Amino acid sequence: MKFGEQLSSHLTPEWRKQYICYEELKSMLYEMMTALPTETEDREQYISQMDEKFFAECERELTKINLFYSQKIAEAQGKFHELNAELLAFKEALENRETQSVADSTTLRQRFKRHNVSARNITREHAKTAQQLKLAFSEFYLSLVLLQNYQQLNATGFRKILKKHDKLIENERVETLINSVERDVINDLEGGNRQAGMKRLKVPPLSEKQHATTTFTLGLFLGAFVVLGIAIIISWFASESRPTEPKWVAVRLFRGPLLLFVAIWLCGLNMWGWAEAGVNHVLIFEVDPRNHLTYQSVMQIASFMCMLWSLGVLGYLYCHLIHLPPFLFPLLLMIICVIYIFNPLKKPNSIFQRNSRFWILKHCFNCFTAPLHFVTFIDFWLGDQMNSLVTSFLDFQYFICFYTTEVDYSDWSFSARTVNMTTSESIPWGYVDISTGRDMCTSSSGIRVLVSIFPATVRFMQCLRRFRDTGHAHPHLINAAPKDSPFLREEMIYGSKWYYYGAIVEDFILRLSWVLNISLGEAWTMESDLLTCITAPLEVFRRFIWNYFRLENEHINNCGQFRAVRDISVKPIKKGDLESLLLKMDEENGVSHRGHDLRIRVKKQKKSSKNRRQILRRARFARIAIGFHPNSSSSPILAETRH
């Protein structure tokens, strides 16, 4: 049976006018096909115009159906509450009658007789009410079934008419393009190898699926790190300190890698938060959507490195029991990290992740040579991360200086030495220049100053390069300097605005953590390394929170441009081509509602932003007038300005 006949036979006659006008829409499609031009250009233009009329009619039908359905469902809700109230009143009346009849009886025999009489009385008195309730619920249930049938028939009608539209108009452009792309890639780019071509074109699932092995190893490594961390704390306070051993050398050797590993782990947590909030970080970072690390893989790698770090610290603490040099363990940890990062092996991919490692190395190289390359978002983002890892950079500088100048590699003893500037003698376990009382690797202030300003310099050069490429002073030159804004945007991804206000307070407080290094160090002569151990993790945490809002801003920009995939252009689009496309969309015979409405929205946005700037400028001038008004009191003017 055709759907038109099915609709006529199954609809509710009293609601006939409220159903989808399926036959009229179908006749409209057939009329479109009858008058379809033969020439290609006229055909496309005619189809576009008739499509607008057809979908406008579909929208009117949908509005009609939605209004009627909303009215009926509201009536059904009211009827249901009314019947429920009557049913509850009927049940209460029965319970009250039963309770009264039992209370009036004294003996068991009297109660039994009274119960039978009461049942007969209830049957006589309430039979009519019960029958009416049954009939009312039955009729109400029938109305609900009819409403459900109305909903299903209309949904099927829209599905059928749109399917017929695609069939008649042959609206299979997407399928045609997909087949053409597959054919070109297989025949021209992969030499006829269909398997290789389809592997290249394979589209990943929309929802990332985590492997059970990755989840298990992540939990294993993270749990091991927590347990080993507790063991480190207990061992640190329980072990006896060696008198000739310096206090903070081991901290400097192990602190830098730990901060880096924690930052990587928090980036994995960022990836999870972005995915939960719907922020497309894969597109923003412009990574391959078919082959990239999931958040669990990033956290797995970071947890594994943290576990190795814990083993290295325990090896350092118990070196006298296992008879190994103490400074062998930081060196082994760094060697393992360097080998893992620069390892050229591909397989097993689940362990080495060569594509991801080389991708991040390439962008790190772009950051280090910022003025020489076109700067992308990931380069900016990595530059910001480096600014929060200045302590790690300084510790890595100390690590290199320590193992190149202060460690004795003779006889593979890995013992540390320093030189007395007066006698030129090597002193075991000496890390401080005896003549000056300063550590040799931290006293080279010139090198450490350059290392500490290197991340900020990278970020500054990126902004200058971006300004050179685009010619836009805003926002690239503005980004080269510190800035802030007290306002929240209208569109927010993370739900409650209190998240944003909390992040503002947190960012303001933690941005001033550098003040602690100066004020506390001067006031209470606290160890600088102790203060750094407190403030450096706070800065890493601040950057972790900041990452959420930085990518939110980029994601909203992508949504405004309806950008869902990477823009990989072999030949760039010329400005004239884009303008001609917009003009074609604005033609009288073209698809008018697309280009025209887009321009109207853009003009409205520009006008509102212009008005907002004018209001802020006037408010700023008003504040200046308040501060420098010579002849009047400030309170009346202030009150007038506020109003």
pLDDT digits (tens, 9 = 90+) for 244-272: 566 678 888 999 999 999 999 999 999 99
Q: Which of 22, 50, 33, 26 is nearest to 164 (CA)?
A: 26
Q: Which two tokens stand for residue 419?
A: 């030189």
| 283 & 253 share domain | yes
Residue 309 placed within a domain: yes
Q: List the single range of 64-68, 202-206, 398-402, 403-407 with lowest mean pLDDT.
A: 202-206
Q: What is the DSSP letter of 462?
A: H
The answer as to whether 137 is a domain residue is yes
Structure tokens at 486: 């007290």
- Identify whether the C-beta of residue 258 lies closer than 8 Å to the C-beta of residue 229: no
Q: Kindly report the pTM of this predicted structure.
A: 0.62
Least-confidence region, from 259-268, 277-286, 466-475, 574-583: 574-583
Kindly state whether residues 175 and 225 are assigned to the same domain. Answer: no
| Tally of domains within the chain | 2
Asked whether the predicted pLDDT for residue 95 surpasses 90, the reply is no
pLDDT digits (tens, 9 = 90+) for 317-356: 888 888 888 888 999 999 999 999 998 887 777 777 888 8
Between 447 and 114, the higher pLDDT residue: 447
Q: Cα–Cα distances in Å, from 547 out to 268, 343, 563?
A: 11, 29, 21
C-beta of residue 331 within 8 angstroms of C-beta of residue 403: yes
pLDDT score, position 258? 95
Mean pLDDT of 33-39: 79
pLDDT in tens, 530-570: 888 888 899 999 999 988 888 887 777 755 444 445 554 44
Q: Mean pLDDT score of the chain, rounded to an integer?
A: 75
DSSP track, 165-196: HHHHHT--HHHHHHHHHHHHIIIIISTT-HHH
Same domain, 83 and 154: yes
Q: 635 or 385, which is more confident?
A: 385
DSSP 3-state of 561: coil
Average pLDDT over residues 376-393: 90
**What are 176-216's pLDDT values in tens digits?**
778 888 888 888 777 788 888 787 777 666 556 678 888 99
Q: Angle formed by the axes of helices 528-560 and 497-511, to 10°?
A: 140
With a pLDDT cut of 70, the percent of the chain lying above it is 67
Residue 266, pLDDT score: 95
DSSP 412: G
Question: Which whole number is the average pLDDT over 381-396?
Answer: 91
Q: Could you tell me the CA-to-CA distances from 631 to 568, 621, 637 in Å, in that order?
A: 64, 17, 11
393, 520: one domain: yes
DSSP, collapsed to helix, strand or coil, labels residue 102 as helix
Domain, as residue range, for 229: 210-473+499-561
For the ranges 58-72, 235-249, 339-353, 395-409, which has the lowest average pLDDT?
235-249
Predicted confidence at residue 569, as pLDDT, reads 44
**pLDDT given at position 13:** 80
pLDDT of residue 335: 94
**pLDDT for position 217:** 93
The pLDDT score that the predictor gives to residue 594 is: 42
- Say if residue 475 is preceded by a cis peptide, omega within 30 of 0: yes
Among all chains, which residue has been given the structure tokens 């070196």? 319
Q: What is the pLDDT of residues 139-174, one digit of tens each?
A: 889 888 989 999 999 999 999 988 888 877 765 567
Q: How many CB atoms lie within 10 A of CB 446?
A: 7
Residues 217 and 299 in one domain: yes
Q: Tell me how crowded residue 269 is: count the other CB atoms within 10 A of its CB.
A: 16
Q: Are residues 176 and 269 in the same domain?
A: no
Ranking 86-95, 222-231, 630-639 by mean pLDDT, the lowest is: 630-639
Asked if 196 and 324 sit in the same domain, the reply is no
Give one DSSP letter per residue of 202-227, joined into a string. Answer: PPPPSS----HHHHHHHHHHHHHHHH
Same domain? 328 vs 305:
yes
Mark whether 266 and 188 lie in a shared domain: no
pLDDT at 242: 58
pLDDT of res. 544 = 92
Residue 596 is assigned to a structural domain of this protein: no
| 265 in the same domain as 132 | no
